[in-house]
Structure 1
């Protein structure tokens, strides 16, 4: 199974007059989402499922991909790493899954996958981390296929 974690791009700051779920992307964030979306679209299989947090900034980030997506309430900003993995059907999904979500949860998912422990790893805004789990004759093999930041793609 391929699991791609994509942190939303740069968003406007929250505040007392702007609920967290309604924060939108900044102009820089819109550019990050388009750049990373184009790169991901060129790399992802056609059958990839795209699951997105219902927050405005994650929906806007996913729109940069130009593919159909489904919002999923279990991916909201207060999600638990286990909620993310359950929503993706990790590691049992027969198709690749792209999750568009938030920090610190995505960094915690990455650390959980790679070390078996939930730690607060930093994932930059607009970045994507691509994990692959393959069933082999030996025990399942997990590896980190790619880490890409929006400012590295043109």
Structure 2
């Protein structure tokens, strides 16, 4: 199974939090990542997006077919996100567009089996892959892409 975690791009301040929108910088970050995804994303990809405006704007730079799922939203937990994605049993590929600290907590669980958080840059994408090697399941960090460096 492939699990791609994309943190929403740069957003402005505001309240309520769910209605915050992307800044001009955030729009550029989303467009850069969209170009990268055009070339590299798995062909069959399920996309789960937080209900927050900034996450929807982030994914809409690339595609319009996605599922809004509160389990990956502002109040998500690592467990709710992994369950929504079906990790690791679902197979295939899932892209989640979400938020810190949940994305960093998921990355920490997958890489270190620890209940801590790694830091995701705004607009960054982390791609994990579950594989079997010598009869053992392994989580592999396939790539980390910083939108500002594309």
TM-score (norm 1): 0.93
Query: SS in structure 1 opposite 2:107?
Result: helix
Please report the RMSD computed on the Cα atoms of aligned residues, expressed in angstroms.
1.1
- Which runs of structure 2 are paired with 1:37-116 in the superposition (5 Å)? 37-116=34-113
User: What is residue 11 of structure 1 aligned with on the other side?
Assistant: 11
Query: SS in structure 2 opposite 1:98?
Result: strand
Q: How far does the alpha carbon of each residue in 1:10-69 deviate from its partner, in whole angstroms, 9 at most, with x for none? A: 00112xxx2000000001100101101221221112211110001000000011122511
Gaps of 5+ in 1: none
TM-score (norm 2): 0.96
Gaps of 5+ in 2: none
Alignment length (residue pairs): 150
Distance 2:115 2:5 in 1: 15
Note if 1:146 corresponds to 2:143: yes
Q: Name segments (4+ residues, structure 1) moved above 3 Å.
A: none
